[in-house]
A and B are shown apart, each in its own frame.
Chain A
């Protein structure tokens, strides 16, 4: 199979991937860039485990064709903490409020929540729940995930 060359910004770095045209963004992230933080829970766009942010929007990378990534800016869970390793408020809040249990849904959850907070720094509880409605979690019952996101909102406010 012939590879295609796709250039985009990945967690702040300009990168080029040479992968088969049939690959998804998820496969490219995990196999070409070895960024395995983005998970596959279903592979067909139904669970949200593979959520990344493309140009500010949360998307399911498992059904996102790599060709469409050309020229975009992609953020994955590996790009959420700052370059010095300081955790993002969402990451801190998930640890402090038990928003993470097995952790398999966590990358996707944090990316969906981050996409929300980047647009809307003061979301309502309902907006928070809507933003993660496509992210399944089997461990937490969502309550402490929503708590975590609310706490992150407060932390971000305090920082400003």
Chain B
């Protein structure tokens, strides 16, 4: 593999030059002819009956083109559990409930029109605590389900129960047991580009949705179903992504604003843009799912894990998006991070009048790993075994079949733990220094696709024109991770071209093949594998043309020489060398025989070959086009929530050194080493970029970030009060790249989009404990919580 020209190299992101020159078009920048601006009116109450809506004044405002409410559009249910309508009718169940919407010729007029809509409410009692909401007699958030059947409890009937082995046996086998309560809260994805889309119908009622989704094809599917339900059956939906200003999971569902823009566009016959303000982004976009855990873990006297039992309580909010499915991912670390024979995990999701949740980088993994890894540290303390050692004793290994039936292929976990240990000088520094502390945490995550739908496939199409330019129709999306560069490296390498020969179109459902979505850290793995297969086919086609046309090109060259020099004798040439595509190869755009790569007569620029294949009379012309659809041999989770849903898994360990100021409670991260088994780094600089970015969001998750939700209302919907880390909060992340050369990965690569975030918070939490001897078990670990906990401790001492 050492003769790779592009894979493994730090190829710059030149392909994205539009982003550094202000030319890239984001949804904010997109303007369609005649476009109107849509705005949404939200509920004034967390729970209320809508007594009446009067839109007449708003309709009369000059410049307003449409005003819609739940009473004027079809009553069609949408969402993961179909538990809401696009605009609400009868009842509102949270502050972000969409009550009415306006389209107008300017944003200002649309805003003004919202103020003119009169809604009369009758407030209802509300419930905001999931533990309260699950009690008998609690206020019911929904009275009927999607099928109209009465609902008698706020507990959502979802099967989040996982059992493997025998917990009671595990308990008996334990020499030590720890039990803890931990909690994580709402955090916002904070994409710098806010949410939005432009919906546009043609005169045949086919829809184009300019969007920034992660899942163009699922988006298309959901919208197609919605259109059918409102009487537009059989109409085409084309989802086209513009440049995406960050995602971090926000664009996994089809959000309500997308349906609203569609309704407004349908009503006005004009393109309609909805673009969220930052405040809306905080109030009306589903954030990360919070969770409360009770986790119990045991080990024998040698430190070998005996059992792990965890119960989770999830505040679902008023409706259901992907947040409620995070337990399916929580099961992965719960069952499979470290070797543990007996596992039980159960999650209860409960409706409340709070905001509902969605996906965010890592899905449920950061929440669950926080619980598992803090518990591991507690267990280490109880046994007296060094926490790093305890993790090594229980480390996953290549060839393992975990209780969830995950098949561990390559596994760099031990190497990750050891390299972090070494970098931190763990053995010398651990627990030695007052106010300074060390902590670590590891992770397991899907890294070879994630079969959450029946198809986990990814399609790719490649065409090579007669000048040797390669156009790629790539079904995934790029939200900033650098796929245009990475995928062009893989294609250049596989096809024998250069990255600059390649243009890519992403995520356009009108052009590209199916893809399950750019989520679950699956894109490089899936698109890479699909690309390699498509390139094999394209290359074979080019070499077939070469076999057919090369002899003539050679003859022409000889003739040309003879013209220049009449004494030139045709050399004796071994045409057998070029008689079969198998005997030829392409590198750096040159086609040549493998037997003699530098052959004077048998070496051609690829465009010479391609042109000679195209410009040749009727019936003989050839174009080069190839497609591949890669769907890995993985399993859906079965009824017991078991199955090998990914072809390979990512492992990693974050080790942190912190300093805590006991007066102010301020935590400074002195060192942060993030070791990740990435299989193979296709582009090391870009891999590091994923790790830096993820670790930094993880540090915010640990220390500062928190959506303050009081009685259902988001109290800090702006960057002043929602504390993201800035460039001045230096998080000295040092990525350590471990390459395990995954046999099923493209050039050995595994996914790395999410892993960097996952173990960051528990590593920091464990380091803080090592520094000050108190544990804060609910995120974020703010200075106030530290000071309070230290005071408590002093009292007790």
Contact = CB atoms under 8 A, between A and B. Distances in A.
Interface of A: 30, 35-44, 46-47, 49, 76-78, 80-81, 87, 90-91, 94-98, 100-107, 110, 129-130, 132-146
B245 A102 contact: yes
B21 A87 contact: yes
A153 to B, nearest CB: 16
A37 B22 contact: yes
7 contacts: A40-B28, A46-B719, A102-B480, A138-B191, A139-B693, A141-B697, A144-B692
A136 B724 contact: yes
Contacts of A37: 21-23
Contacts of A36: 22, 25, 28-29
A77 B20 CA distance: 8
Contacts of A49: 192
Interface in B275-301: 277-278
A98 B689 contact: yes
B147 to A, nearest CB: 40
A135 B727 contact: yes
A138 B727 contact: no
Contacts of A35: 22
A100 B20 contact: yes
Interface of B: 12-14, 16-17, 19-26, 28-29, 189-194, 243-248, 277-278, 479-482, 685-686, 688-689, 692-697, 718-720, 724, 726-728, 730-731, 733
A129 B479 CA distance: 25
A115 to B, nearest CB: 15
Contacts of A78: 21-23
A101 B688 CA distance: 12
Contacts of A95: 12-14, 16-17, 20
A136 B728 contact: no
Contacts of A43: 277-278
A41 B245 CA distance: 10
A109 B695 CA distance: 20
Contact of A140 (B12, B17, B689, B728): B689
Contact of A129 (B192, B278, B724, B730): B730
A129 B728 contact: yes
Contacts of A129: 727-728, 730
Contacts of A94: 20
Contacts of A139: 192, 246, 480, 689, 693
B24 A101 contact: no
Nearest to A142: B727
Given A78-B23, A100-B13, A129-B727, 14 more contacts: A36-B25, A41-B194, A42-B278, A42-B718, A46-B718, A46-B720, A77-B22, A90-B20, A98-B688, A103-B16, A104-B245, A137-B192, A139-B246, A144-B685
B118 to A, nearest CB: 26
Residue with the greatest number of chain B CB neighbours at <10 A, chosen from A38, A129, A146: A129
B390 to A, nearest CB: 29
Contacts of B733: 141, 143
A82 B190 CA distance: 33
Contact of B727 (A41, A47, A146): A146
Contacts of A146: 727
A98 B248 contact: no
A136 B193 CA distance: 11
A20 to B, nearest CB: 9
